[in-house]
């Protein structure tokens, strides 16, 4: 190095070090950052509906989340109390998440803060006591990923749980163990302790291959005297329970002895969930997520019947403890023509069974099958054309649950009029097809999931059920006589909406 060059370099060093000591901008060990940060998500839309609907194309996400969800906003706050500055050194952070589905002008409750909740609050600490372990106290929600087309997370654990988790992450292994209590989410104002424990293991044996398994147990112990703890009222008949006629039947069988209606017997309850995940990618298949969930739900607590001007509390754990749910979901993302055309293909299959119920249609006793395909073509990096279509079938296991014609409010047993019928409508199957198409402006460029996304969409639905969308049409014979009922199988929606993470 020439002498002059050495002198100049030395001068630079001195100047820069001086600037550093004075706290100048260019002297930090890393780009300057605040210890407080906030992130979030929002979607808002207007979808004027000229067919009597509430702005959603169909009933729910089974047909793809697009045009079937309402407004939503989430804000997560994070404070790095002790930032992570070097590997294996302690760090800690605080998190709070507020979210809800109401915005003035975009939903029925017009932005009411009552629609928002503090859904998560937790603290994390890493490398404290154990290297490569992150401790978390507070909300423990964890999931392996989601089905973006459906906005559904089949492989999710600890969503309801407040407690402690330890997560070990090193190289290709990611193991989470958690314990806590899920009682407040599961039981609300009828809180009862629901001890929860479980684990999730994710491994990445190769760069484009991931496997995950997990499970959780939820246990409600027997607590004598706690009226919100699991109990069984002996001798309940399922049909009487469904009809709300237990006390009446007892009175008929035992005249004048209503005081002798069997007392509840304390018991315990157990629910569990097992999840599995497989992720992989190859070639134009950028990534494929496959999820499986098998769940045994916790039984219900109790119902209250009013008979002869008296209230009777009936504990129904024994009538609701055989509810199983199996859900299988897959989402594949393809880059068909790089920079020009992407495709996302989703499949969702569900089987809900209720071993106690064989007489009344219910969301706990049904099958559903769905597939959604979204194509996104790129005219420019910022201007996209979106095309999505879905096909779904829902089938009730216990008779009719769907209205196929305008006068179906009159039929409730095998398609016949029956004042005592437990069915609804005139079909046990609902088939639905949807189409969504329109331009998308994406300031941040290419990608099906690039956000923010400004969309002008036209949606079209055909369903075997009439008026198969949120509406205010008639639900009873009384209303039918007043208003009549349109027989609409086709539904059109125009949507102007924006969705963003920030």
User: Per CB under 8 A, does 76 bind another protein?
Assistant: yes
- 288 lies in the binding site for another protein (CB under 8 A): no
Q: How deeply is 478 buried, as exposed, middle or buried, from its count of CB atoms within 10 A (0-12, 13-18, 19+)?
A: exposed
Please tell me the distance from the alpha carbon of residue 215 to that of residue 158, in angstroms, as a whole number: 9
269 to 93, 174, 220, 419: CA distances (angstroms): 36, 31, 5, 36
Choose among 278, 258, 308, 276: nearest CA to 208. 278
Question: Does residue number 12 form part of the binding site for another protein (CB under 8 A)?
Answer: yes
- Asked if residue 287 binds another protein (CB under 8 A), the reply is yes
Q: What would the x/- binding string for another protein be over residues 182 to 221, using CB under 8 A? A: --------------------x-x-----x-----------
Q: How many residues interact with another protein (rule CB under 8 A)?
A: 67
| 101 in contact with another protein (CB under 8 A) | no
**List 45, 62, 66, 74, residue binding another protein (CB under 8 A):** 74
* Residue 154 binds to another protein (criterion: CB under 8 A): no
CA atoms of 212 and 280, how far apart (whole Å): 12
Cross-strand pairs, 216: 198, 273
Residue 175 makes contact with another protein by CB under 8 A: no
CB of 2 to another protein, least distance (A): 10
DSSP secondary structure of 302-352:
EEEEEETTEEEEEEBGGGSS-EEEEEEEEEEEEEEETTTEEEEEEEEEEEE
Q: Give me the residues paired with residue 341 across strands.
A: 337, 377
Q: Are 38 and 78 in contact (CB under 8 A)?
A: yes
387 close to 375: Cβ distance less than 8 angstroms:
yes
Q: Which of residues 359-418 bind another protein (CB under 8 A)?
A: 379-380, 382-383
Concatenate the DSSP letters of all residues of 142-185 into one string: EES--BTTTTB-SSEE-TT-EEEEEEEEETTEEEEEEEEE-HHH
Which C-beta is closer to another protein: that of 19 or that of 113? Answer: 19
Is 351 a residue that touches another protein (CB under 8 A)?
no
Of 95 and 395, which CB lies nearer to another protein in the complex structure?
Answer: 95
- CA-nearest of 38, 185, 54 to 472 is 54
Site string for another protein, 435-464 (x = CB under 8 A): ----x-x-xxx---x-x-------------
Q: Which of 78, 227, 243, 249 binds another protein (CB under 8 A)?
A: 78
Is 17 one of the binding residues for another protein (CB under 8 A)? yes
Binding site for another protein (CB under 8 A): 1, 5, 9, 12-13, 15-17, 19-20, 25-34, 37, 39-41, 72, 74, 76, 78, 83-89, 95, 97, 99, 141-146, 148, 151, 153, 174, 202, 204, 210, 279, 287, 289, 379-380, 382-383, 439, 441, 443-445, 449, 451, 501-502
């Amino acid at each position: 190095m020439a002498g002059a060059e050495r002198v100049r370099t030395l001068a630079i060093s001195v100047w820069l070090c001086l600037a550093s000591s004075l706290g100048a901008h260019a002297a930090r060990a890393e780009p300057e950052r605040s210890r407080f940060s906030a992130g979030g998500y929002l979607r808002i839309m207007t979808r004027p509906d000229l067919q009597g609907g509430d702005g959603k194309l169909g009933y729910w996400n089974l047909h793809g989340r697009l045009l079937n969800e309402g407004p939503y906003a989430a804000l997560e706050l994070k404070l790095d109390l002790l930032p992570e500055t070097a590997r294996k050194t302690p760090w800690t952070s605080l998190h709070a998440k507020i979210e809800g589905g109401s915005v003035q002008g975009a939903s029925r409750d017009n932005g009411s803060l009552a629609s928002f909740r503090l859904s998560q609050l937790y603290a994390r600490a890493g490398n404290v006591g154990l290297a490569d372990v992150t401790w978390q106290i507070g909300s423990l929600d964890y999931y392996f990923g989601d089905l973006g087309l459906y906005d559904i997370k089949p492989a999710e654990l600890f969503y309801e749980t407040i407690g402690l988790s330890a997560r070990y992450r090193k190289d290709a292994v990611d193991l989470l163990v958690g314990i806590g209590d899920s009682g407040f989410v599961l039981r609300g104002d009828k809180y009862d302790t629901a001890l929860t424990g479980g684990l999730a293991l994710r491994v990445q044996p190769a760069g484009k291959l991931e496997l995950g398994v997990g499970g959780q147990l939820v246990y409600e112990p027997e607590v004598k005297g706690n009226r919100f703890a699991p109990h069984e009222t002996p001798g309940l008949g399922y049909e009487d329970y469904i009809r709300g006629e237990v006390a009446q039947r007892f009175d008929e069988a035992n005249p004048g002895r209503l005081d002798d209606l069997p007392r509840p017997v304390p018991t315990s309850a157990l629910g569990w969930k097992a999840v599995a995940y497989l992720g992989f990618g190859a070639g134009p298949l950028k990534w494929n997520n496959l999820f499986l969930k098998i769940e045994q739900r916790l039984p219900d607590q109790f119902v209250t019947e009013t008979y002869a001007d008296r209230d009777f509390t009936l504990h129904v754990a024994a009538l609701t403890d055989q509810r199983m749910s199996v859900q299988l979901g897959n989402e594949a993302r393809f880059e068909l023509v790089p920079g020009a055309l992407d495709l996302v293909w989703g499949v969702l299959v569900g089987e809900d069974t209720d071993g106690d119920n064989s007489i009344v249609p219910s969301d706990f006793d049904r099958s559903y099958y769905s597939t959604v395909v979204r194509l996104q073509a790129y005219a420019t990096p910022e201007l996209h054309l979106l095309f999505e279509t879905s096909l779904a079938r829902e089938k009730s296991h216990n008779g009719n649950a769907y209205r196929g014609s305008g006068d179906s409010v009159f039929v409730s047993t095998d398609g016949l009029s029956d004042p005592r019928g437990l069915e609804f409508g005139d079909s046990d199957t609902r088939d639905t097809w949807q189409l969504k198409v329109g331009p998308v402006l994406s300031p941040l460029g290419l990608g099906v999931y690039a956000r923010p996304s400004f969309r002008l969409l036209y949606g079209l639905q055909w369903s075997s059920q009439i008026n198969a969308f949120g509406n205010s049409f008639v639900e009873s014979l009384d209303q039918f006589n007043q208003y009549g009922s349109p027989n609409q199988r086709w539904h059109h929606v125009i949507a102007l909406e924006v969705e963003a993470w920030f």
